[in-house]
Chains A and B, each alone.
Chain A
């Protein structure tokens, strides 16, 4: 019973590590990746997934059940690549035994009947002793760079040489397959111990690296809060260059950073980080344990709102660009506006919100909602003012770039008017409050990430390419020579035979050169059996 089971297990294992299984699994892997490129993926663009749900309300949930929107995190995708890698590991183990050991021990002894091999030629007989001839042939072979030679004296007195070249091919192949494992390990390490977060930094403000200061943050299963490197980063100037047609050509941000610094270092926000750096797209700031990458940029209009009690609210609010001219949408929500400074209770329904469309270069004529150019040549902002309950203290997290339209529809928020303001202009609202468009600052969004498996994966990838090159461009070939005592003491006959797995024609040519060389050094006319015939195919 137990033996039957181990037999079954053996058989299963044997099948799993076979080339054929690898082939099938490779196809499965390729096919499994297709839906990942066909359907929107949640971790890349959640918005597209939501849009897909809207467009296909019945199909989407069914697809979702099969992980169509999380293909690369799905159990079935994992099952395929894990099987592939178990199979790969298994075949690596056996192939190390089969291919690596001969690398160390050298070529095997010559087979008994050399004429059975695909390439075969005879030279001689020559009136010299086998030992003498073996030495001559040996140095001839060395001369054409066949250096791994094994010599055996057979009981009959014949001497055989076995030589091998291109044995690195198998090593290259093993390195390639092993490197695949290394890449996977690198990816896994990054997934488990890596983290990344996205944040928006406005000019003249500072960002400090804590989980709380991110707009979004993702981390691997094994990342503790304490593993997140402390540093602070400030941005003083953002420069964007555009072509006359509005196409961007360059983004640069002047930043300063300081490692081992954090918010709660006794009023850290008052001191600037020390080290200056120019952050660019494709030129991230790399610190120990984290990299800062420039992802996006835009404008942050500064509104100064003076409420009916004279309290002033002023701050830049990042707006989200929506076209190449950087027309940007955003909302400024003031949940604490219009509260009597001397009052005890919070007054309801007096909150204020402005929905705005900012244009860095306003067109000459209204409507001023579509910017003509991405830099600030003629800026202005169209504001829609709302009053009532913005819902902001109700604790439901919501996009900060748009207003909750359900509240407007439900009458919680009333539209109180609209205005277009240029810098410095003020709009007086009916309730006595007023809003001034002070100007704009620029913002950049950065992604901060830490991926400890990055270099492992890179090393694996480099080894993969090297292994591939070696494996695909070396030809493994063997040469056997027997210097045998001819019949009735005529002399010594030299028999040569060659064996290769791939590219038999090129080897046939090489073989013929070697035979010619041997013929020359032994100064005898060769007596060919089936040489020169380059058309013999290998029996691989």
Chain B
């Protein structure tokens, strides 16, 4: 079963195109983020207003957001009379639509790249680390797009999702690249396919959840900083990540989104680990052997379980719980990079030479 070279080449150039298109989308998002009507200056001046606007958008989108303070002060009096989304008009609106279109196009390029790759090697296209990362990135982008469908307030945030995606894809396409080839016998199993696809999909969703968590922390930091500044009236200048705060959705809504995304990814990750154990039992006689890769999967699982717990523990919900999300993603990254590249275990299928 030789690999089909022209298909493999097609796959590679499609990936390149995906990266280029994502980078373009990122540029559009970044410009729009910096100069959009809800830009930093505007938001500070007209903060109550923008809040109302944001809320109205949310009501239209099924009401995922809630700002109790606004309700009590009665500023949400008549949401429907506010413009739905002022920044979607004018050149900024064009830019945003272009950015979203480019993101979709990039994702389609990635899909094409994976299909070509699978066809080239005549197998599922997630057999080594390079392909795995491609799938994770694709899932990350797609989960963001899906979340955008019902949540308008996310649509101008593409740059935050695409940044890690482009970095990971660039790394995968250069350092970790491996030629299309059939699988080694140990990887040739139905359960492996199920295991790796579940792992890749849940990792992609975790990636998106991680981005949500970071955005929440930025917004939360911005909120506390600005309210502290108000209290002490000694206006402390905001430092870098928090200057991004004013254009982010309300902290509450980001926190809830972070949880939802993880609530989706966690059972899938649990299933991925179990499918891996079933496959390990068939291939190596034991379903669990504390191989470094297995151990780190376990660590990630426990950390994410701790996050779900923390969110239900009084005094932990909010900032503290979301820090656990960052920790969880860090363990996922350790598992992906450190374990695949530095340590050798039974899972040394990275295919990187």
Residues 103-145 of A contacting B (Cβ, < 8 Å):
none
Task: Check A442 for interface membership: any CB of B closer than 8 A.
Answer: no
> Given A33-B295, A508-B63, is A282 in contact with B71 using a C-beta cutoff of 8 Å?
no
A36 cross-chain contacts in B, Cβ below 8 A:
290, 295
Q: Is the CB of A29 within 8 A of B302?
A: yes
Q: Is the CB of A461 within 8 A of B66?
A: no
A238 cross-chain contacts in B, Cβ below 8 A:
none
> Given A247-B184, A464-B270, is A37 in contact with B296 using a C-beta cutoff of 8 Å?
yes
Task: Check B91 for interface membership: any CB of A closer than 8 A.
Answer: no
A468 cross-chain contacts in B, Cβ below 8 A:
266-267, 270
Q: Is the CB of B185 within 8 A of A44?
A: no
What's the dominant secondary structure at chain B's contact region? helix
Q: Is the CB of A251 within 8 A of B181?
A: no
Report the interface size for chain B: residues with CB under 8 A from the other chain: 64
Kindly provide the distance from the CB of A26 to the nearest chain B CB, expressed in whole angstroms: 4
Quick one: which of B256, B267, B303 has the most chain A CB within 10 A?
B267
Q: Is the CB of A23 within 8 A of B181?
A: no
B65 cross-chain contacts in A, Cβ below 8 A:
505
Residues 18-39 of A contacting B (Cβ, < 8 Å):
19-20, 22-23, 26-27, 29-30, 33-34, 36-37
A245 cross-chain contacts in B, Cβ below 8 A:
181
> Given A281-B283, A282-B185, is A505 in contact with B309 using a C-beta cutoff of 8 Å?
no
Kindly provide the distance from the CB of B263 to the nearest chain A CB, expressed in whole angstroms: 4
Binary flags per residue of A278-296, CB closer than 8 Å to B gives 1, else 0: 0011111000000101010
A44 cross-chain contacts in B, Cβ below 8 A:
289-291, 345
Q: Is the CB of A447 within 8 A of B285?
A: yes
Task: Check B226 for interface membership: any CB of A closer than 8 A.
Answer: no
Q: For residue A250, which residue of chain B has the nearest CB?
A: B185
B289 cross-chain contacts in A, Cβ below 8 A:
44
What's the Cα separation between A481 and B264 when bound, in Å? Answer: 33
Q: For residue A453, which residue of chain B has the nearest CB?
A: B287
Q: For residue B345, which residue of chain A has the nearest CB?
A: A44
Q: Is the CB of B185 within 8 A of A458?
A: no
Kindly provide the distance from the CB of A287 to the nearest chain B CB, expressed in whole angstroms: 13
Contact of B68 among A23, A71, A537 (CB under 8 A): A537
Task: Check B326 for interface membership: any CB of A closer than 8 A.
Answer: no
What's the Cα separation between A508 and B64 when bound, in Å? Answer: 10
Binary flags per residue of A525-540, CB closer than 8 Å to B gives 1, else 0: 0000000011111000
Report the interface size for chain A: residues with CB under 8 A from the other chain: 60
Task: Check A504 for interface membership: any CB of B closer than 8 A.
Answer: yes
A23 cross-chain contacts in B, Cβ below 8 A:
306, 309-310, 313, 316
Kindly provide the distance from the CB of A84 to the nearest chain B CB, expressed in whole angstroms: 10
Task: Check B70 for interface membership: any CB of A closer than 8 A.
Answer: yes
Q: Is the CB of A33 within 8 A of B302?
A: yes
Contact of A30 among B188, B266, B306, B309 (CB under 8 A): B306
Q: Is the CB of A505 within 8 A of B63?
A: yes
A19 cross-chain contacts in B, Cβ below 8 A:
309, 312-313
B331 cross-chain contacts in A, Cβ below 8 A:
30
Kindly provide the distance from the CB of A43 to the nearest chain B CB, expressed in whole angstroms: 8
Q: Is the CB of B292 within 8 A of A37?
A: yes
What's the Cα separation between A486 and B296 when bound, in Å? Answer: 64
Q: Is the CB of B285 within 8 A of A249?
A: no
Q: Is the CB of B282 within 8 A of A282?
A: yes
Q: Is the CB of A293 within 8 A of B283?
A: yes
> Given A19-B313, A465-B270, A505-B63, is A535 in contact with B70 using a C-beta cutoff of 8 Å?
yes
What's the Cα separation between A33 and B295 when bound, in Å? Answer: 7
Q: Is the CB of B299 within 8 A of A37?
A: yes
What's the Cα separation between A19 and B315 when bound, in Å? Answer: 11
Q: Is the CB of B309 within 8 A of A472?
A: no
Contact of A536 among B71, B267, B308 (CB under 8 A): B71
> Given A23-B309, A26-B309, A458-B278, is A33 in contact with B66 using a C-beta cutoff of 8 Å?
no
Task: Check A454 for interface membership: any CB of B closer than 8 A.
Answer: yes
What's the Cα separation between A23 and B327 when bound, in Å? Answer: 14
Binary flags per residue of B319-348, CB closer than 8 Å to A gives 1, else 0: 000000000000100000001000101000
Binary flags per residue of A321-364, CB closer than 8 Å to B gives 1, else 0: 00000000000000000000000000000000000000000000
Q: Is the CB of A472 within 8 A of B266?
A: yes
Q: For residue B296, which residue of chain A has the nearest CB?
A: A37
Q: Is the CB of A284 within 8 A of B285?
A: yes
Task: Check A234 for interface membership: any CB of B closer than 8 A.
Answer: no
Q: Is the CB of B64 within 8 A of A505?
A: yes
A457 cross-chain contacts in B, Cβ below 8 A:
287
Q: Is the CB of A454 within 8 A of B68?
A: no
Q: Is the CB of A465 within 8 A of B274?
A: yes
> Given A465-B274, A509-B62, is A533 in contact with B182 using a C-beta cutoff of 8 Å?
no
Q: For residue A173, which residue of chain B has the nearest CB?
A: B312
What's the Cα separation between A33 and B343 when bound, in Å? Answer: 16
Q: For residue A48, which residue of chain B has the nearest CB?
A: B344
Task: Check B35 for interface membership: any CB of A closer than 8 A.
Answer: no
Kindly provide the distance from the CB of A451 to the nearest chain B CB, expressed in whole angstroms: 7
Binary flags per residue of A158-182, CB closer than 8 Å to B gives 1, else 0: 0000000000000000000000000
Task: Check B218 for interface membership: any CB of A closer than 8 A.
Answer: no
What's the Cα separation between A379 and B169 when bound, in Å? Answer: 44
A284 cross-chain contacts in B, Cβ below 8 A:
282, 285
Kindly provide the distance from the CB of A401 to the nearest chain B CB, expressed in whole angstroms: 20
> Given A23-B306, A293-B284, is A282 in contact with B188 using a C-beta cutoff of 8 Å?
yes
Q: Is the CB of A30 within 8 A of B299?
A: yes
> Given A44-B289, A291-B285, A469-B267, is A281 in contact with B66 using a C-beta cutoff of 8 Å?
no
Binary flags per residue of B131-160, CB closer than 8 Å to A gives 1, else 0: 000000000000000000000000000000
A506 cross-chain contacts in B, Cβ below 8 A:
62-63
Task: Check A243 for interface membership: any CB of B closer than 8 A.
Answer: yes
Kindly provide the distance from the CB of A237 to the nearest chain B CB, expressed in whole angstroms: 17
Q: Is the CB of A243 within 8 A of B181?
A: yes
Binary flags per residue of A440-483, CB closer than 8 Å to B gives 1, else 0: 00000001010100100110011011001100110000000000
Task: Check A493 for interface membership: any CB of B closer than 8 A.
Answer: no
> Given A44-B291, A533-B71, A534-B66, is A451 in contact with B286 using a C-beta cutoff of 8 Å?
yes
> Given A36-B295, A505-B65, A535-B76, is A243 in contact with B312 using a C-beta cutoff of 8 Å?
no
What's the Cα separation between A506 and B59 when bound, in Å? Answer: 11
Kindly provide the distance from the CB of A100 to the nearest chain B CB, expressed in whole angstroms: 18
B286 cross-chain contacts in A, Cβ below 8 A:
196, 449, 451
Q: Is the CB of A449 within 8 A of B285?
A: yes
Binary flags per residue of B41-76, CB closer than 8 Å to A gives 1, else 0: 000000000000001000100111111101100001
Task: Check A235 for interface membership: any CB of B closer than 8 A.
Answer: no
Given contacts A283-B282, A449-B286, A505-B65, 15 further A-B contacts (CB under 8 A): A20-B313, A33-B298, A33-B299, A37-B290, A37-B343, A187-B288, A196-B286, A251-B185, A282-B189, A282-B192, A291-B285, A293-B283, A457-B287, A464-B274, A468-B267
Pick the 9 closest A-B CB pairs, nearest first: A37-B295, A282-B189, A534-B63, A26-B306, A30-B302, A281-B185, A37-B292, A449-B285, A468-B267
Using a CB–CB cutoff of 8 Å, the interface residues on chain A facing chain B are 19-20, 22-23, 26-27, 29-30, 33-34, 36-37, 41, 43-44, 71-72, 187, 196, 243-245, 247-251, 280-284, 291, 293, 295, 447, 449, 451, 454, 457-458, 461-462, 464-465, 468-469, 472-473, 503-506, 508-509, 533-537
Selected A-B contacts with CB under 8 Å, 10 pairs: A23-B309, A26-B306, A30-B306, A37-B339, A244-B2, A281-B188, A282-B188, A295-B285, A457-B287, A535-B71
